[in-house]
Amino acid sequence: MMMTIAMAIIPDTQIAAWQHPEVLRQMAKWIVDHREDYRIEMVLHLGDVVHLGANDERQFQDAKAALDMIDEAGVPMLIVPGNHDYDNLLNEDRSLDMFRHYFGVSRLAGREWLRGLYEQGKPENAYAVIESNGLQLLFIALEFGPRDEVLAWADGLLATYEDHHAIIVTHCYLYLDATPSKLGDEYNPRDYAGAEGANDGEEMWKKCFRKHRNIIAIYSGHQIPYSISYSVAIGDHGNPVFQSFQNWQGADKGGSGRFRLVTMNGQAGVLKHMVINPMLDGAEAGDGHEVEFCFREIDRSRLEQTKYSPL
């Protein structure tokens, strides 16, 4: 039996939600229409769903109307908040009332794939488990600049599900130069006054991610102006971890609904990445768009950091 499933990785939709909501609907429709073709078993939104936080509720309404198509089709979906999704854009604190209203626990109720939240009633730190086509997968979704206590929670999950392939998503992790974000990098989570206790990418790696041999990939958005960077890190057990940044918000129509489609072949131990442009109804060629990664062995050719300019 071929053990293959796919995941849709959606980065920053903020400009589309603000100015081109029809793009969000086209993106969601493409995912739903092609679910069976690619065996899409999970959708992961990397945050910055909207642009202006609680200052413009209409953006949340339009984004929800689009993403509801995915929920209604029964495709599992986790959504992490980006800095633009917080009520006051993280200028004051971590208030997420509007995000929780539109993308909160009510949309997750009764979903058997959802296994838990860090804090009751708060969807920003959640985890899901999927067993499909012979694969056992753990998905952990983390808040913007996760706090130490949140990383400790993730640490426990990764240990508990050590026999599952783990995929991590958070809004800010990998920087433009394909290294985890660190002090001195632009838009570091620590630079936001309201992001109390925030950890940046380098701290997440050192405090948690590097310790777990079952992590195979970490996906994030957030950065500008480039659109893609990726690299392979080596964990404490000698295990390769694929790290990927993607964000097309600066392209036409806020990215025209572009997202990464990741196919996972469990038998071969390979993640195959492509970029879907739903406005063109298919995969799109470009630097860094098509990337294969073997998580069962270290591919030395992928250890060199790479970065690409936007479309």
Percent of the chain surpassing pLDDT 90:
89
Answer whether residue 289 shows pLDDT above 60.
yes
Residue 311 predicted with pLDDT over 70: no
Whether 48 and 15 have beta carbons less than 8 Å apart is answered as: no
- What does the H/E/C string look like for 153-170? HHHHHHHHCCCCEEEEEE
Angle (nearest 5°) at CA 78 between 44 and 161: 95
Per-residue pLDDT, 135: 87
Average pLDDT for 232-242: 95
Give the model confidence (pLDDT) of 124-155 as tens digits: 999 999 998 788 999 999 999 999 999 999 99
Query: Which residue in 54, 55, 34 sits closest to 43, CA to CA?
Result: 34
Closest CA to 11 of 252, 227, 233: 227
pLDDT above 90: residue 267 = no
Instruction: Return d(Cα 298, Cα 294) in angstroms, integer.
Output: 7
Q: How confident is the model at residue 89 (pLDDT cuts 50, 70, 90)?
A: very high
Q: For residue 152, which of 217, 107, 197, 91 has the smallest C-alpha distance?
A: 197
Please give the Cα distance from 40 to 46 (Å, whole number).
Answer: 17
Determine the average pLDDT of the residues in 93-110: 96
CA 88 to chain centre: 22
Virtual CA dihedral for 130, 136, 141, 142, nearest 10 degrees?
150
- Residue 1 confidence (pLDDT): 45
* pLDDT at site 299: 58
Longest dimension (CA), the chain: 52
pLDDT tens-digit readout, 191-236: 999 999 999 999 999 999 999 999 999 999 999 999 999 999 999 9
- DSSP codes, 60-92: HHHHHHHHHHHHHTT--EEEPPPGGGSTTTTSS
Sheet containing 122-132: which strands, arranged edge to edge? Answer: 114-119, 122-132, 135-142, 165-170, 215-220, 240-246, 228-234, 306-308
pLDDT at 133: 79
Mean pLDDT over all residues of the chain?
94
Average pLDDT (183-197) is 97
Looking at residue 16, its pLDDT comes to: 98
Q: Name the residue with higher pLDDT: 273 or 306.
A: 273
pLDDT band at 2 (very low <50, low <70, confident <90, very high): low
pLDDT, tens only, 42-83: 999 999 999 999 999 999 999 999 999 999 999 999 999 999
Which residues neighbour 9 within 8 Å (Cβ) at sequence distance 6 or greater?
44, 46, 169, 219, 244, 246, 259, 260, 261, 262
Across residues 242-267, what is the average pLDDT? 96
pLDDT at 310 over 60: no
Instruction: Say if residue 298's pLDDT is above 80.
Output: no
